[in-house]
Each structure stands twice: as C-alpha cells, then as structure tokens.
Structure 1
Amino acid sequence: MWRKRLTRWGQKLQGDLGWVLCGGLLMGFTPAPLEAFPLAWIALAPLWWAVVRGTPRQAIFYGLVWGCGYHGLALFWITGIHPMTWMGVPWLASLLIALLCWLFITAWGAALVAGWALGMGWLNRVHPPAKMSQFAPILPYLAPLSRILTGIALWCVLEAIWRSGDLWWSSLAYTQSPHNLFILHLGQLSGSGMVTAAIVLVNGILAEGLLSRRWQALGWALSCCLVLHLVGFTLYSRPLNDQNPLTIGIIQGNVPNEIKLYPAGWQKAIEGYTQGYLDLTRQGVEAVLTPETALPFIWNERFRQTRSFYQAVLNQGVLVWMGGFGQKGDRLTNSLFTLSGTGEVLHRYDKVKLVPLGEYIPFESLLSPFINRLSPLDAHLAFGKPDQIVQTPFGQAIVGICYESAFQDHFRRQTRQGGEFILTASNNAHYSEVMPAQHHAQDVMRAIENDRWAARATNTGYSAWVDPHGRTLWISGINRYETYIGTLYRRQTQTLYVRWGDWLTPLLFVVMVGVQGGRWFNQSL
C-alpha cells in the first residue's frame, strides 16, 4: 500500500515539478546579470499553482525546488570568491569553500520559500463550509481571496524574519531594482515589504485564475499591476525641491584583493588615494568619500605620522571619509573615519552588519575550530553598535558599509534620527560584475525608501551617484581607477516608511490570522 501511495505521489510531483523549477529559474533571471525584472510578476505563479494542488508534504518539496532555482541562480556570484590562493588557501580547499558557501546561502533562501509553501499547503486544507448559504454568491471567491491574502502575509512575514537575522540578500523586492523605479517607490510607504507584497499579489491572482480556469483573472492581475505602478508613478513624480547642496568627490581606487593586503597593494592604495584626494580637492570639492578599507591599516598615531595620504589631508584641509580598520579591545573593526581637514578624527563608524564566516564566525565557540582547520581565513572582526549616529560638519550622515546595504532597517533608523544624506562604502573586489550590480540595486532601494541622495564609493566598481527617486546619475566602470565629483542635497523629509517602519507586514499578519481563524471556526460549526 505504501509503495502505491509513494508511486502516485511521485507521479503527481513529477508532473508539476518542471513548472515549479521553471518559475524559480525565471525569478532568478530578474536581478543582475540579466535584469529581466518583468518576469518577477509571473514567476511565482507556477509554485502557487502547484502548492494549492498538492499536499503539505509536496508543498515543502515544491518550495525547496523553486527556492533553489531562484536563490541558487541569483546568488551564484558567491562562487566568485574562488580562487583564494592569494590568501594562502589551497586551490581545492578554496573551491570547496566557495561551493559550500553557495550551497548554504541557496539552502537558506530555499528554506524561506519552503516555509511559505508549507504554510500555504497546510492552511489550504480548510475550506469555507458549503452551508454558508448567505454567502452563496461569493462562496467560490472566498477560498481564492483568503489564499491570496495568506500568501502575501506569509511571504512578507518570512522575509521580515530572515531580514532580522545576519544572513540576508535576495528579497523579491530587489528583483525590480534598479530599473522599475515606479514600483520601487512603494518602498516609501512600507519599505521593501510593500514591493514584495505587490509582486506576490499579482502572482497570486494569476495562479488562482489558472486553478479556477477563470481567464478573466489575467485582466484582474494586469489591472492590479497597473494600479500599483500608477501609485508608484505618483510618488516618483513629486518634485525634489532640493536645497543645501554638498559637493563630494568619490575615489574608486581599484586595488585588487590579490594584492590589497600585501606591500604592493598598500603602496598602490596609498599612491592612488593620495593622488585622487589631491586632484579632487584642487577642483573644489567640500569632502571626499573613499571605499571600504580603502587604506587597509589600523588608523593610529603611527599611521598618521608615516603616510602621505594623511599629509595630503593636512595640506589641502578638506574633510575625507576614509575606509580603514579601527580597534575595539583585542579585535579590529571595519570602519569609516570622518577625518577633518586638520587631521582630527571627528567620528568613527564601525560596521554593524558583518558578513557571516567572512568577517565573523557564527556560534564561534562551536564552529571556530572547524573553520580554522578548513582554511586560514581570519573572520574575527568586532561588531559596531547598532545605534551609531554619524555627525559631520555638513549635517548628519546615513552610513552603510558594504553588506549593510541589504538591511533596510539599518538605514531607516539613521534617517529617522536625523540623517540627511546617504554614504555607502564597499569593496566588492572578491566577485564578478554580477555582485556589484546587485549591490548597486540594493543602494537604489535604500535611496528611494529614505528619500535621500546617496553617494556610493567602491574599490573596483560599481561606484555611483543616486538621487532620492532612485535615478542613477553616474555609475563607474568595473575594475578601473576612477574619480568623480557630484552634488548631493541634504534632506530632512520623512517618508511614511521612515516614520512607521514596515507597518504593512504586521497588519497583513493580523488580518491573515483573523481570516484563517474565521475559516477554522466556521469549519467547526
């Protein structure tokens, strides 16, 4: 008997599996390098269709397959850390580390999708009772409507949970960045959660139309999509009315990681950033922004006395935000220093969101012996305090270092506390062009959500200049030395998202609980 059941289960699973995998791969095409963002509005529908038709156990498997297709393809750039022979890691061990990292982050993302599919499959077992005769005219629509609401709420809740941890990158919302600026403006209302909700909503309407064979659902989905874009266009069309200009120079040093931590790299970094600083200050900039760990030294008295860059600052007298290392007890910090024209460190911002395994070891007491045997990678940086406020002579800055660009709450907190413009500093030299492009997409979302101008300095690309509507006014090339001068404007506006945060997700959750509770109650009557 169990063999027959297993055979039937496998046959049904096989029939839907191709569509589910195809949907996951289509979603994987939406971020860089292909940036086929319109596919996101249909790519979730095959998974939805299969989950509703299947059992909760099958739903988990469907979710894993779709999630592996999406996250595995979108995050394949992580394998670009190989080879790490320049760090002393043997070639084969480097390959193993890269593959394990890719498999882990793919599984982590797939777990989110599997959790959503399980929730949908389990809650779908409850149907509106037929004896509700007073609702007979709308009874056929109750189950689809409740599933759509449940699907949106579950996905938004799970993304919020994943985003609250230390490992996060590929929200459904970032599939629309940096090109679909209209829909990204929904982020000004409730953050990336509202953009995700919009994508899930349209996919849900399409899937429910396929399930019920109501082909007019295609028109409903299209209409809903157009309305959502119209709302975003209304927000996008508001004039900026900018005041309080600030002219900033950006230096993209282009120091490859293969030499960055060695004498040849140190010399190239010092020469490149010194010359870039001199060139920019002679052109009249008010401040200069450098990338993450632009000068990979501990910023102390010995450095100030022996480095030509520091002497150039004293000679030119122009403020610089310098990436380097600080000290916190017996550990280093990944920091951005606000260095005044007199050589005084006005503020040191320490990176808050460190990269797991790359900059710190999760559950260090348990995993550290294993990691240390596997490779000589040093992953022991100290965390910065989450409540840091970066005051500058030009007003309060909103600062993010590299990986922090994926965490919207990190930027919202600083904006809500008075931040007037965004500065992000990144390295990104470990990877191919795909990762810097996706990183730029994250920074575009943060600029829109917070309604702030953003200056982005990276080591090897892509450095960029973004306005509060998410328009990229300048973007650098990849793997080349560049400088740029741009004008940003200090703003004190507060979007609905900045004031209230992601209010939509808890609201959807409460409504979902009420709807599902009502269905369970009626089922028991």
Structure 2
Amino acid sequence: MGLAPAPFNAWYFAWFALAPLWILIRQQKFTKQIALLALSWGIGYDGLALSWITGVHPLTWMGVPWLASLLIAIFCWIFITLWGTGIVVFWGIIIGFINQRISKKNLSDNLFLVLIATALWCGLETLWSHTPLWWPAIAYTQSPHNLAILQLNKLSGVNTVTAIIVAVNCLLGEAFLYWHNSNNFKNKFILLSSPLTIIIISHLGGYYLYQIPVSQDDLQPLKIGIVQGNIANEIKLFSRGWRKAIAGYTSGYQRLAKQGVDVVLTPETALPFYWQDILDNSSFYQAVIKEKVPAWVGANGRKAKSYTNSIFTLMGEGKTYSRYDKYKLVPLGEYIPFESILGKLIDRLSPLDAHLAAGKSNQIFDTPFGKAIIAICYESAFPQHFLRQAKAGGEFIITASNNAHYSTTMPAQHHALDVMRAIESDRWAARATNTGYSAIVDPHGNTLWISEIDRYAIHAHTIYRRQNKTLYVRWGDWLTPCLILFSLFSGIFFWVRQIDRLN
C-alpha cells in the first residue's frame, strides 16, 4: 500500500494490498498477534508513504546541530508513522474480536464482517481527520491518477472511495478463505465475483460523472496569475532570501499584471515579513500601487504578542481587503502540543522569537471576486476545512504552500490532496507553492498546468467561479454514519440469530 501514492504512484496496488492483512487477521486467535500484524502493516504503509518527513534534515541552517537535526527528523517520522498506524491497529483488534464469534463457513456471517470492517475503517479515518495530525487517508492513493473513481467523492467525500477500497480488499480476502474452507461452489462464485463487480460498477459510475462536461455557462471567469518564487529554506529567513523574495515576487507580479490577469496569487509566506512592514516599505507594494492589479500575498500578521501565517488580499489602490490566518498548524513544526508540559523539552523549529498563533476555525475569505475556499499548506489534508467553506458559498479554491522543507515526494502528495479537494467540492483550484508543485486543477481533478519542481515560475490561467453544490457539499459525509448504523442493525440481527441457534 505504501507504493500506491507518490513517488511510486502504483495506485492499483491499493485494490488488493489490504487483503493479505485481512486474511491473516481472520486466521489468528490471539489479540496480541493481530495487533502485531496490524502494526507491521501500518508501519509499512505509513512509514513508506510518509518517509518524506525525513527531508527536514539537515536543519543546520537554523542553527540546529547536525546530529540533533537527524534525531528530530527520525523522531518526527516515527511519531507520525505510529500515529497513522493507530487506525490499522484499532481496526485489526476490533475485527479480530468479532471474528472470534462468527463462522468462517457461513456466507452471511462473512459478508456481515466485511460490512463492519468497511464502516469501522471509514469511522476511524474520520475520527483521525479531526485530530491535529492527519495525512495518509487510504483514498488518496488514487490521486491524481485514477480520476474516474475519485469522481465518487462528489457523493459523500473522501470516505466514498475509502469504503470501496476497503470493501474490495476484504472481499478478496474472504474469497481466498472461503475457497479453502468450503465446498459450496455457489458461495465461492459469489465471493470471487463480488470484488470484481464492485470495482467495475464503481469505476463505471465514476467515469460517467467524469464525462459530464464542466459547464461554463453563466460562470464568471477569473484570470489568475501564479508566482512560484523558488526561495530555498536555507536562505528564506535571512537577508539574502529576503532580497531574492522581494525581487522575484515583484518581478513576477509585474510581468503577470502586463499579461492582463485579474489577480496574482503568491505562496505561503512568499514575503517573510510582517504585513505592516510590507505596506510601509517594499517594492512589491509599490508595484501593486502602480499596476492596480490585486494580489493574494503570503506574509506574517500580528496577533497580540504572537504572529500568524496569513494570506492578505492587497487591492490596487493599496488597501488590505481581507485576511486569512492559517488555522491548522503543523504539530511540532509550527506549535508544540501540550506546550506547557513539553515546551521546555522540545525547541520549536521556527527561528522567529514569537509564537505562531492559529487563526479562527470559522473564517470566511472574502475577495473582490466573491468568496474563496482557501487553505495554507497543511490544511489541504483536512477535507472538513474545505467543506465548511464550500457550504458557506466559496466559489473557487486557492491554496498557498511552502513545501521546501521536505523531499520532492511531499509536494507530489500535497498536489494529490488538492486534486481530491477540487473534485469533492466541484470547484476550480489554483495552487501556488514556493518550490513546486504550483498548479491549476479543474473540477474533475484534471491538472491543466503544473510547474516544475525547484524552478522559478510564473503562469497565468483562467478559472471559473462556481456556485453549484455537490451532494457532498450539501450533506457532508453521510455515507460513514449510514454504514455505521447499518452495521449496528446488522449486528443486532446477527446477535438475535445466534441466540436462536443456541436455543
């Protein structure tokens, strides 16, 4: 499963990579063995998929000694891997517990267990996605390559695809087990054909949605210019980086303004200064005054004695129209969980003296072009963040990121997340990153333009404002609670039937 997302992009592995774990769990009698199997599988998946986190090393440019930098990278990798693995361990233990109480030869019991497994996995991923630390959902293994199946996210969000992947894997495992434990040819045929049937029907349904044209009738076009400054982290927060940022973003803005764009989008902390300092004395501000083209600028805002990671809307006449402060901060990177306890033991990775403060969870980003769905970097991993803004009337997506901290695998996975967010909300998306991959994505998830990695780039592209609402935007993730309720009712029925058998 760890080979399914970037950089290997073997998305098809996801359709059978969970089945071996299912078979092993079904064959075990002891909880300890099940927990170890699930832990091993989870470490393999999360550990490989998230190995890009080690790219934070070396941090010597921040004054961190080489060995300490290595230990920080290893600690972060182990911590986030084990956190993600918790989903698999809890899932395996609960399935193992139920498995002890059902027959391995009764088809209805087997299908009941598959239903429970599917609902449980979706429920656990939903729970984890509401914690401060979240990234590797099973469904993102399909992005951005298997766009047909991802269209189903328009129905009930990311868990639509998650449920299908888990169900197919479990049914494959059941078919293997049933083939060895039963002589009932009819039931064997049902279990062998059911996963293939689900794959075919779900992909055909997604392909049908994918073929529906993205209508541009009565939609207002918005020509966005993107500047990818390509400022290495090693110099970003020092005088050399400041000069390069001011020169690069000012030049890029001016060139895009002359191309007739409606607005220019810059990455997260494109100008690593306090916003008031930019307004008081910067060539970028003077360029906006001259060209009269609005810009969305990544910079730092002030919040009491702290600072924020923010995006500002700067109008052509020099006024600040709106501001968005990053809400989902990176644990250990941008803040320390339980800082009152751990703060003396772990130094913050930020070289700034002030503390980074989180924005409010209910922000609405108004722009001169209507409401936008906005996210800064890490927030792309949280679908509910985009859902809230889409429900509030967001007409297009803009994301700003600085992925230069990590290996090139991370920007590719980040792009995959934004593709899913565009599909779920049926919105156009514009991505601006510091070092790549900046991109334009349409509501079907097609990447219409993507920048090269570690290159300075500017690009102008027309996107369209949309006000339609998918079933997911209207109702949210309705599938997961339905699966859980159906599983509970099925469990009650199963329990009553077991009592009748004993009597």
CA contact (8 A) 2:226 2:460 kept: yes
What residue in structure 2 maps to residue 162 of structure 1?
128
> How far off its partner does 1:216 sit?
5.9
Alignment of 1:257-268 (within 5 A): 257-268=233-244
Distance in structure 2 (CA, Å) of the matches to 1:424 and 1:377: 24
Aligned residue type for 2:22: W
Instruction: Report the identity percentage.
Output: 58
CA contact (8 A) 1:127 1:519 kept: no
> How far off its partner does 1:372 sit?
2.7
Whether 2:442 is the aligned partner of 1:476: answer no
> SS of 2:275's equivalent?
coil
Whether 2:17 is the aligned partner of 1:51: answer no
> How far off its partner does 1:517 sit?
2.7
> How far off its partner does 1:378 sit?
6.7
Q: Write the deviation string for residues 124-152 of structure 1: whole angstroms up to 9, x where unpaired.
A: 122269xxxxxxxxx82111110110110
CA 1:408/1:378 → structure 2, altered by over 3 Å: closer, same or farther? farther
Structure 1 residue ranges (4+ consecutive) displaced by more than 6 angstroms after TM superposition? 373-379
CA contact (8 A) 1:397 1:423 kept: yes
Distance in structure 1 (CA, Å) of the matches to 2:162 and 2:354: 33
Out of 319, 323, 342, the position equivalent to 1:348 is: 323
Distance in structure 2 (CA, Å) of the matches to 1:190 and 1:481: 38
> How far off its partner does 1:58 sit?
1.7
Aligned residue type for 1:222: L
Distance in structure 2 (CA, Å) of the matches to 1:287 and 1:295: 17
> How far off its partner does 1:67 sit?
0.2
User: How large is the RMSD of aligned CA atoms in angstroms?
Assistant: 1.6
Out of 449, 452, 463, the position equivalent to 1:488 is: 463
Q: Write the deviation string for residues 402-446 of structure 1: whole angstroms up to 9, x where unpaired.
A: 000010010011011100000000000011110000000000000
What residue in structure 2 maps to residue 150 of structure 1?
116
> SS of 1:28's equivalent?
coil
Q: Write the deviation string for residues 325-361 of structure 1: whole angstroms up to 9, x where unpaired.
A: 0011111110000111111111110001100011111
CA contact (8 A) 2:336 2:348 kept: no
The runs of 5 or more residues in structure 2 that have no matched partner are: 180-187
What residue in structure 2 maps to residue 226 of structure 1?
200
CA contact (8 A) 1:274 1:309 kept: yes
> How far off its partner does 1:375 sit?
9.6
CA 1:382/1:183 → structure 2, altered by over 3 Å: closer, same or farther? same
Whether 2:266 is the aligned partner of 1:256: answer no
CA contact (8 A) 2:264 2:294 kept: yes
What residue in structure 2 maps to residue 277 of structure 1?
253
Distance in structure 1 (CA, Å) of the matches to 2:120 and 2:140: 18
What residue in structure 2 maps to residue 191 of structure 1?
157
CA contact (8 A) 2:307 2:354 kept: no
Whether 2:340 is the aligned partner of 1:365: answer yes
Aligned residue type for 1:278: Q
Question: What is the aligned residue count?
Answer: 489
Distance in structure 1 (CA, Å) of the matches to 2:468 and 2:136: 28
Q: Which piece of structure 1 moves more, 460-469 or 379-388?
A: 379-388
CA contact (8 A) 1:422 1:454 kept: yes
CA contact (8 A) 1:128 1:523 kept: no
Alignment of 1:57-96 (within 5 A): 57-96=32-71
CA 1:96/1:377 → structure 2, altered by over 3 Å: closer, same or farther? farther
Q: Write the deviation string for residues 363-389 of structure 1: whole angstroms up to 9, x where unpaired.
A: 110111111399978793111111111
Distance in structure 1 (CA, Å) of the matches to 2:328 and 2:267: 16
Per the normalisation by structure 2, the TM-score is: 0.95
What residue in structure 2 maps to residue 299 of structure 1?
275
> How far off its partner does 1:177 sit?
0.1
CA contact (8 A) 2:436 2:452 kept: yes
Whether 2:359 is the aligned partner of 1:384: answer yes
Distance in structure 2 (CA, Å) of the matches to 1:295 and 1:443: 23
CA 1:431/1:499 → structure 2, altered by over 3 Å: closer, same or farther? same
CA contact (8 A) 1:191 1:501 kept: yes
CA contact (8 A) 2:103 2:110 kept: no
Distance in structure 2 (CA, Å) of the matches to 1:427 and 1:374: 15
Distance in structure 1 (CA, Å) of the matches to 2:137 and 2:177: 26
Distance in structure 1 (CA, Å) of the matches to 2:470 and 2:271: 36
What residue in structure 1 maps to residue 426 of structure 2?
451
CA contact (8 A) 1:358 1:379 kept: no
> SS of 1:371's equivalent?
coil
Distance in structure 1 (CA, Å) of the matches to 2:367 and 2:351: 38
